[in-house]
Amino acid sequence: MAYAACPHSAPLLSSEILSTRHKENQHPIPSPRGTGTPFVNKTQIFKLSRKRLPVCSLRALYEEGPALLCRAFAWLPVLIIALVVLWSYYAYVFELCLVTLSNPVEKVAYLIIFHILFVLFVWTYWKSIFTLPEQPGKKYHMSLADQERYENEDRPEVQRQILAEIARKLPVYTRTGSGGIRFCDRCQLIKPDRCHHCSVCAICVLKMDHHCPWVNNCVGFSNYKFFLLFLAYSLLYCLYIAATVFKYFIKYWTGELTNGRSKFHVLFLLFIAVMFFVSLLFLFGYHCWLVSRNRSTLEAFSAPVFQNGPDKNGFNLGFVKNLLQVFGEEKKLWLLPIASSQGDGHFFPMRALCEAQNPLLANEEQWEDDGIDEEPHDSGEASSLAIEKET
């Protein structure tokens, strides 16, 4: 008996089982004892229902295997960082403080400060990894009826009008580089300002900054503060280790201390701490500059486009207000990985020039004029909608 492919085998299998049962009801097999009670051949039905299971499992494994492997491989940078941190904890606490140090007061002081920085470092790293990226709300998604209208329409100007009708009700100011509506054809939604589609996570992320392999997560509105604190506490962690280990590094190097096992850990600990400190210093400095200008990494590479054209300082409110945008007004929460950023990630205050403008698509006549002035593109070129395809 021929069977269909695995994804469609379940309906055909059910039909065959029902057909088998129907035939048995029409021509019941008499009971072996001759009691007249029909014999239901459950064994045959059970065997029939199991025939495709091995093939389905193998096919599913074959199809999903590469994706599962990629997902597992994406955690490799996080695993490397975790192993380095665990080793640094062992090397500092046991090999340096408990084995090398002889002064008990110095031991206690070193351990207390180290564990404070260690807890803050791990806490911020954890929050950066496991805080889910914030996605646009329901009102930015196209309804099923609008999706059907949009997909069935071949004329770009009509598609533009459909998007204009939807976006007119939304507080969006930014456009694409060619002046079109920022629409994600994969998520089927109008993108809020500063929202971008992540090709790795396969979702649109509010105020997306970048996708970071070291946290295996998108850094955006929901966890940008945590990411900044993670960089800051990583720097302090490495700086503290390097500063406190350096004296004993010199003693091991000059032969004043001779413990072979601890010597290796202390020497290597200083090298790793300095290496990570230098690397993180540039990254943290760059993000501090971005915060001072109220820009994301993506906006630093490509300035947001408004009605009057690109403006790299479109969201720059001044240093203090820019800082409050990320860390919030409650100063007691600034140094803790607790959500305190201003807003909801869908709308952001802009400079006075942008605030004086009406929201994008608020003037229907302007969009109608734009539609008349724009010449249609050739079929081989990108549509005037300029649908964004960002990574």
Q: Known catalytic residues?
A: 212
Give dist(CA 97, CA 139) in Å, integer: 56
Q: How far is CA 299 from the centre of its chain?
A: 17
Alpha helices (H) along 143-254: 144-152, 156-167, 224-254
* H-run or E-run covering 272: helix 260-293
**What dihedral angle (degrees, nearest 10) is formed by the CA atoms of 304, 305, 311, 317?**
-60
Strand-pair partners of 79 = none
In order, the DSSP letters of 326-345 are HH-S-GGGTTSSS---SS-S
Give the chain's largest Cα–Cα span.
Answer: 100
**The total number of residues written for the chain in this structure:** 391
Which positions ≥6 away from 363 have C-beta within 8 Å? none
Of 226, 225, 245, the residue nearest 237 (C-alpha): 245
Residue whose structure tokens are 């970071």: 212
Coil/strand/helix, residue 179 = coil
Contact 218, 200 (CB under 8 A): yes
Coil/strand/helix, residue 97 = helix
Rounded to 5 degrees, φ, ψ at 307 are: -60, -30
